[in-house]
């Protein structure tokens, strides 16, 4: 471990002191291993402007906060809790002598809300600010608000290894940027690309075995989540040298297990730390000189229209992979192995999208209202959150009763805010009916916010039961906190205990899910979204679940945590939201409607019974929906309606002011032209040809009705007096007149429609009604090509007239009479 006096960041301490003394704000950019977390707070303790006040330093994770406090205290030869202490949920070590207090970002948020003047605080340091958590962004916004309105003497320092310095400086009124070059040991970057069809665990396990054989030192391997860590560990089990052990490192682990992963390995041994992004920054894992990076990260994704947050596995940013590689060179020259093509690095995003841009903002909005402002737009944020997310958060808070429709905080909202949990969970606690019920709800809320508390089971009820039996320090602290939280709620009765699933309904009324028929592990939420759970999970046998957490893409979302709930509990809790409605569906095979009467809760069907199909508005709507689903082809088109559709389509293409007869346009307007003629009918086959034709005519403006036959006649009368039907094309091409050539004799002008403006395309037919010639110039044909055709036809059809001058011959429908 590098000694305090050897840390590279000491070279820029004078610049930091000057900036904070004169401009009150500063930005420090220092590479991993420079010592900024350990040295900077200690070197600021003697500054005059601190004047007996303490320094608050924010860390994004508890492990980083504890590790930093221990290293700083060790450099002073003191135990943690004296000059240097830390404060986090379930674990606090501070005293009256504490001058540097390291806190997690969420704890700082509560501190500043409870004490807006930050009494006794002289400097606030945001460490690893590049991670841009929601709590960090909000904490900075509140700090700036306090500095501008209440504490002009407060100092602010932003620290990071990978940060868009100029942008943050501009945001902080041109705060000076101080850079520590550091003395990083060289890191050799290597690439071992993963095959497209290979799972990341297989690639990672192979890379770990390879590097253990080729290099010295311990390994830190970055994987996106706990599941990938477990699967990688399984692939390494029994396949590593005797002096190598595996140490997982993720947020849901017990504190002691996290500490073991960070501590140096015993003499003569090497370790393989399988970690999430938890190990990216703020901590040094002793003995590590080899980094193996999957290039993946598990990041939040929020669907504002559904109010659902999920975690998705995505490519890590350049800032993130740079931080990871830096872990290899903190204590000695190292190697960073990347499991992707080198060319792909340039395609990575520069930074991860800030959490404020992609998460549920209900807690942020409630905290803003509690702070005394209408919303985030009233505070200074480096990135203003999306309006759609704020609107969804406001809607949820109103539903939870935390704010009223005007945006003012309610009495219940004050209780929710005081509980220190996200609004959904706090609302669940506030809904308790007795002190015991509130305490149970508080424990449930705590274990949902604390990864690993009560285990990592998908079934929250199992975790809930387990935590009450757990006698560990962490569990005892949680029980004590749950009791304190329960005291903040005024219980209104002495109601008995309720199930975990029913408690969760107060927090997640929109997350009830029902299993799909005959599909183990497949569920549908009340909002219609489908979700999955492992078929082998115990919860998969339950009909109803309350889902609290999801992972994966919207099309393939998997349940991470949930609890079962009984049907009678569902019907009682959601009684005022359950509706009964008649549904009719179209059976294409029989062309008939089938009816059901359904009891529904949102998109979930609770029960369904067969229903007799009777004419009415519902059946009409169902028939219209069937046509829209299966297309116009399922209608019983007849000759009249087919011809009319073609004529109108031709007029639309040719003149434009006639209705569009395309299938898409007609499907869009079914309610206008078809629905009235379906009234009183229960089958599409009940429609007559004339009904469809009449429906199409309702789309034609009244003033055009009289022009239809004039502009687009159904037939054309040829010289023999025959009424020959015309064929119309939807593309506006000339209509086609298919007629035997003998019936055109004596016609010296070309036939036309639309008041003589549109020449017809004549398809001349032989006496056997076979096409023999197309023309749009009949006089030219008589005087030209007729001679050759006459010679050919006379040989084939000698019993028919083939005059030399057809323009002067008499038309006929008959052959020459027998002699």
Q: What is the mean pLDDT of residues 584-607?
A: 90
* Least confident among 69-73, 277-281, 405-409, 454-458: 277-281
Could you tell me which residue, 113 or 179, shows the higher pLDDT? 179
Could you tell me which residue, 693 or 421, shows the higher pLDDT? 693
Is there a contact between 314 and 299 (Cβ–Cβ < 8 Å)? Answer: yes
Given this model, what pLDDT does residue 147 score?
94
Query: What gap in Å lies between CA 399 and CA 334, rounded to an integer?
Result: 54
Query: What gap in Å lies between CA 192 and CA 224, rounded to an integer?
Result: 18
% of the chain beyond a pLDDT of 70:
96
Helix (H) or strand (E) segment spanning residue 27: strand 25-29
Classified as helix, coil or strand, 284 is: coil
Question: pLDDT per residue over 536-571, tens digit each?
Answer: 889 999 999 999 988 877 667 889 899 999 999 999
Cβ neighbours of residue 480 closer than 8 Å, sequence gap 6 or more? none
pLDDT higher than 90, residue 353:
no
Given this model, what pLDDT does residue 443 score?
93
Given this model, what pLDDT does residue 252 score?
64
pLDDT higher than 50, residue 5:
yes
DSSP state of 354: P
Is there a contact between 443 and 468 (Cβ–Cβ < 8 Å)? Answer: yes
Cβ neighbours of residue 701 closer than 8 Å, sequence gap 6 or more? 657
Q: What is the pTM of this model?
A: 0.70
Structural domains of the chain sorted by starting position, each given as residue range(s) with its CATH number in brackets = 4-179 (3.40.50.300), 187-356 (3.40.50.300), 410-577 (no CATH), 589-707 (no CATH), 713-808 (no CATH)
Helix runs in 712-784, H state only: 778-783
Question: pLDDT per residue over 731-769, tens digit each?
Answer: 888 999 999 999 999 999 999 998 888 999 999 999 999
β-strand pairing of 544-551 with 308-315: parallel
Query: What gap in Å lies between CA 14 and CA 176, rounded to an integer?
Result: 13
Given this model, what pLDDT does residue 1 score?
45
């Amino acid at each position: 471990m590098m000694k305090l006096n050897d840390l590279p960041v000491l070279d820029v301490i004078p610049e930091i002191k000057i900036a904070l003394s004169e401009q009150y704000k500063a930005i420090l950019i220092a590479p991993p291993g420079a010592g900024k977390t350990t040295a900077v707070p200690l070197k600021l303790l003697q500054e005059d402007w601190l004047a007996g006040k303490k320094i608050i330093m924010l860390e994004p994770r508890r492990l980083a906060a504890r590790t930093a406090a221990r290293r700083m205290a060790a450099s002073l030869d003191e135990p943690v809790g004296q000059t240097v202490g830390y404060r986090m949920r379930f674990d606090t070590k501070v005293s009256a002598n504490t001058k540097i207090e390291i806190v997690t970002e969420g704890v700082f948020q509560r501190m500043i809300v409870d004490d807006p003047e930050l009494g006794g605080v002289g400097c606030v340091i945001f460490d690893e600010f590049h991670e841009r958590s929601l709590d960090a962004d909000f904490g900075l916004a509140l700090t700036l608000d306090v500095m501008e309105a209440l504490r002009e003497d407060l100092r602010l320092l932003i620290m990071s290894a990978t940060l868009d310095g100029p942008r943050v400086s501009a945001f902080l009124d041109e705060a000076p940027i101080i850079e520590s070059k550091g003395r990083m040991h060289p890191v050799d970057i290597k690439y071992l690309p993963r095959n497209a069809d290979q799972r990341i665990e297989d690639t990672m396990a192979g890379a770990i075995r390879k590097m253990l054989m080729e290099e010295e030192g311990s390994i830190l391997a970055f994987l996106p989540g706990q599941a990938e860590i477990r699967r990688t560990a399984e692939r390494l089990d029994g396949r590593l040298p005797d002096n190598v052990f595996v140490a997982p490192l993720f947020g849901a682990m017990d504190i002691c297990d996290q500490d073991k992963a960070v501590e140096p390995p015993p003499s003569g041994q090497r370790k393989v730390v399988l970690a999430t992004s938890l190990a990216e920054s703020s901590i040094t894992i002793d003995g590590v000189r080899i980094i193996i990076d999957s290039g993946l990260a598990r990041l939040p994704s929020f669907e504002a229209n559904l109010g659902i947050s999920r975690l998705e596995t995505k490519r890590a940013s350049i800032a993130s992979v740079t931080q990871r590689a830096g872990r290899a060179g903190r204590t000695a020259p190292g190697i960073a192995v990347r499991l992707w093509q080198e060319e792909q690095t340039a395609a990575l995003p520069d930074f991860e999208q800030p959490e404020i841009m992609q998460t549920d903002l209900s807690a942020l909005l409630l905290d803003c209202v509690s702070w005394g402002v209408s919303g985030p737009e009233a505070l200074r944020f480096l990135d203003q959150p999306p309006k759609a997310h704020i609107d969804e958060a406001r809607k949820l808070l109103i539903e939870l009763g935390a704010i009223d429709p005007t945006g003012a905080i309610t009495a219940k909202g004050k209780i929710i805010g005081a509980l220190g949990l996200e609004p959904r969970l706090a609302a669940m606690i506030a809904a308790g009916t007795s002190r015991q019920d509130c305490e149970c709800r508080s424990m449930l809320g705590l274990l949902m916010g604390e990864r690993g508390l009560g285990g990592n089971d998908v079934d929250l009820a199992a975790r809930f039961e387990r935590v009450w039996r757990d006698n560990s320090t962490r569990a005892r602290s949680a029980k004590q906190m749950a009791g304190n939280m329960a005291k903040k709620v005024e219980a209104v009765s002495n109601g008995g205990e309720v199930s975990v699933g029913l408690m969760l309904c107060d927090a997640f009324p929109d997350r009830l899910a029902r299993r799909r028929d005959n599909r183990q592990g497949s569920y549908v939420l009340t909002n219609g979204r489908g979700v999955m759970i492992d078929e082998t999970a115990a919860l998969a046998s339950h009909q109803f679940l309350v889902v609290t957490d999801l992972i994966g893409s919207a099309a393939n979302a998997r349940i991470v945590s949930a609890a079962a709930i009984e049907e009678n509990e569902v019907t009682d809790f959601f009684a005022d939201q359950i509706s009964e409605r008649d549904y009719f569906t179209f059976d294409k095979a029989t062309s008939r409607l089938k009816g059901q009467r359904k009891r529904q809760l949102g998109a979930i069907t609770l029960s369904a019974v067969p229903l007799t199909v009777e004419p009415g508005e519902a059946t009409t709507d169902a028939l219209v929906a069937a046509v829209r689903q299966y297309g116009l082809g399922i209608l019983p088109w007849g000759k009249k309606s087919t011809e009319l559709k073609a004529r109108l389509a031709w007029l639309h293409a040719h003149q434009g002011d006639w209705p569009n007869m395309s299938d898409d346009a007609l499907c869009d307007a079914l309610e206008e032209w078809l629905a009235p003629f379906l009234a009183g009918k229960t089958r599409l086959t009940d429609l007559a040809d004339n009904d469809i034709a009449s429906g199409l005519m309702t789309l034609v403006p009244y003033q055009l009705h009289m022009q239809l036959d004039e502009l687009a006649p159904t037939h054309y009368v040829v010289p023999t007096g025959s009424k020959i039907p015309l064929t119309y094309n939807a593309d506006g091409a000339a209509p086609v007149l298919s007629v035997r050539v003998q019936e055109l004799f004596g016609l010296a002008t070309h036939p036309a429609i639309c008041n003589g403006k549109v020449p017809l395309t004549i398809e001349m037919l032989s006496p056997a009604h076979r096409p023999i010639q197309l023309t749009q110039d009949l006089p030219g044909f008589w005087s030209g090509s007729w001679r050759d055709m006459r010679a050919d036809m006379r040989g084939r059809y000698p019993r028919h007239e083939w005059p030399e001058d057809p323009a002067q011959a008499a038309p006929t429908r008959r052959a020459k009479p027998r002699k």
